[in-house]
Amino acid sequence: MEDDKQGVPPPEGEGLPEAGHPVPDAEVVHTPSVEVMAGSGLIRRPPMLPPPPPVVDPEDEEEDSMLRMSFMEHLEELRSRIIKALYGLAVAFVLALVFAGKLWDIISDPAIDALKHLHVEPPQLAQLSPMEAFSIIWVELPLLCSVFIASPWIVYQVWAFIAPGLYKKERRLALPFVLLTAGLFIGGGCFAYFLAFRYGLEFLLGIGMSNNVRPVVSITEYFDLFVNVTLGVGLVFEMPVLIFLLTLLRLLSPRFLLRHSRYAILAIVIIAAIITPTPDVFNLMLFAVPMCLLYYVGVFSGLALVMRREGRSVPWRKVLLIGFSVLLIIGAIVFGMLHYHVRLVPKWPYITR
């Protein structure tokens, strides 16, 4: 019976302390609380607060906003971008076809100047087959020019294809990416046309004249060499963009590129030897030195991207000072080569006119 009584709760009001008396064997917390029975007394526990909201990583939030596409949707997007790029190339081809005659005068100007400097009469290119002039001047030349004219549009289509896989803050780099990529490609073509191709062509045409060899150049052979040099140099000038893109996709790091820079320089010299139209070391350096500079520009652009991700500031003042000094030296060399016809020779004083 006593056990049964112990299991029965006391009547209402019994077993509770009177007002003004402390609760035995218990501690009262004077806060807004919930009353519970424990032991022989009444304790007041503070109410349970709701758990704090989970901390959301900004990168995880951006990953949720990325466009999710299946494999077939990726293929369809790639097909759409290729078709749009071809449309832009076709429009540029029609525009270049209208000015094909004037464009050929510009393209053939290095050969005419080289023949004049070598005192070859008449300073003209030769047509060796009936269809040669038509296929070169009215088909292949407009196609080459359309690649340079439509390069901003083609680069934009490439960026639009890879943009859905990037973070939102990285998609804002679309305009700088398009302008820089197309600008470097066009700049590489101009570098090949105004400097490398002109001096290399004069060397090639004059190398056999001392052995009673008269240079006669067909327009097909001349144009093939021109395409190889201009397109090769234009693509090589995309090196900073390629390095930046690989760093953006986290496939390369600036530390890795700097640690293995000696192998990169060796590869650059080999590539320069392949695309150089002449076998002499001076024209080789004319290609290799700008390519090495572009490599380190790409490494710096990747470093700036990594520092921005880590929240560190880039020392732009020092960078701009070094860049301005390098551009000033390169500008002086280019001005001397174009205006005063200064060139390097393999003997003292190594510079002549």
**Residue 88 and residue 219 in one domain:** yes
280-300 pLDDT, tens digit per residue, is 677 777 788 888 888 988 888
Torsion of CA 298, 249, 231, 88, to 10 degrees: -130
Rounded to whole angstroms, the Cα distance separating 308 from 316 reads 13
User: 100, 297, 290: which is closest to 194 by C-alpha?
Assistant: 290
- Choose one of 193, 227, 261: the last residue of a domain: 227
What is the pLDDT at residue 227? 92
Instruction: Render the burial of 109-148: b for 16+ CB within 10 Å, e for the rest.
Output: ebbeebbeeeebeeeebeeeeeeeeeebbeeebbebbbbb
- Residue 58 forms part of a structural domain: no
**Residue 207 and residue 325 in one domain:** no
Rounded to whole angstroms, the Cα distance separating 192 from 175 reads 26
- Choose one of 203, 227, 251: the last residue of a domain: 227
**Residue 117 and residue 167 in one domain:** yes
82-114 pLDDT, tens digit per residue, is 999 999 999 999 999 999 999 999 999 999 988
User: 175, 162, 172: which is closest to 69 by C-alpha?
Assistant: 162
Tell me if the pTM is above 0.75. no
Mean pLDDT of 116-145: 90
Rounded to whole angstroms, the Cα distance separating 161 from 81 reads 7
- Report yes or no: 202 and 284 within 8 Å, Cβ to Cβ: no
47-59 pLDDT, tens digit per residue, is 666 666 655 555 5
Check pLDDT > 60 for residue 185. yes
**Residue 91 and residue 198 in one domain:** yes
- Residue 349 forms part of a structural domain: yes
**Residue 180 and residue 207 in one domain:** yes
- Residue 335 forms part of a structural domain: yes
- DSSP secondary structure letters along 230-241: HHHHHHHTTHHH
What is the pLDDT at residue 50? 65
**Residue 303 and residue 323 in one domain:** no
21-75 pLDDT, tens digit per residue, is 554 544 444 445 455 555 555 556 566 666 666 555 555 555 554 556 677 887 8
- DSSP secondary structure letters along 267-304: HHHHHHHHH-SS-SHHHHHHHHHHHHHHHHHHHHHHHH
Rounded to whole angstroms, the Cα distance separating 16 from 28 reads 14
Q: 144: Cβ–Cβ under 8 A, 6 or more apart, which residues?
A: 227, 230, 231
Structural domain count, the chain: 3
- Residue 96 forms part of a structural domain: yes
Q: What domain range includes position 335?
A: 315-353
234-284 pLDDT, tens digit per residue, is 988 998 888 888 888 788 888 899 898 899 999 988 888 887 766 667 777
- Residue 94 forms part of a structural domain: yes
Question: Kindly report the CA angle at 327 between 322 and 329, in degrees rounded to 5?
Answer: 100
**Residue 308 and residue 321 in one domain:** no
Segment (H or E) for 307? helix 281-309
189-206 pLDDT, tens digit per residue, is 998 898 878 877 887 888
**Residue 256 and residue 152 in one domain:** no
Mean pLDDT of 133-161: 92
**Residue 217 and residue 106 in one domain:** yes
- Residue 9 forms part of a structural domain: no
- Residue 124 forms part of a structural domain: yes
What is the pLDDT at residue 322? 78
Tell me the CA end-to-end span of the chain in Å, nearest whole number. 126
**Residue 222 and residue 84 in one domain:** yes
- Residue 7 forms part of a structural domain: no
One-letter amino acid of 152:
P
Cis preceding-peptide flag for 349 (omega within 30 of 0): yes
**Residue 138 and residue 272 in one domain:** no
Q: 115: Cβ–Cβ under 8 A, 6 or more apart, which residues?
A: 123, 124, 205, 215
Q: Which contacts of 95-98 are long-range, i.e. CB under 8 A and separated by 24 or more positions?
A: 95/146, 95/149, 96/141, 96/142, 96/143, 96/145, 96/146, 96/149, 97/138, 97/142
Rounded to whole angstroms, the Cα distance separating 242 from 171 reads 16
Rounded to whole angstroms, the Cα distance separating 188 from 197 reads 12
- DSSP secondary structure letters along 144-162: HHHHHHTHHHHHHHHHHHH
Rounded to whole angstroms, the Cα distance separating 353 from 347 reads 13
**Residue 296 and residue 331 in one domain:** no
- Report yes or no: 226 and 197 within 8 Å, Cβ to Cβ: yes
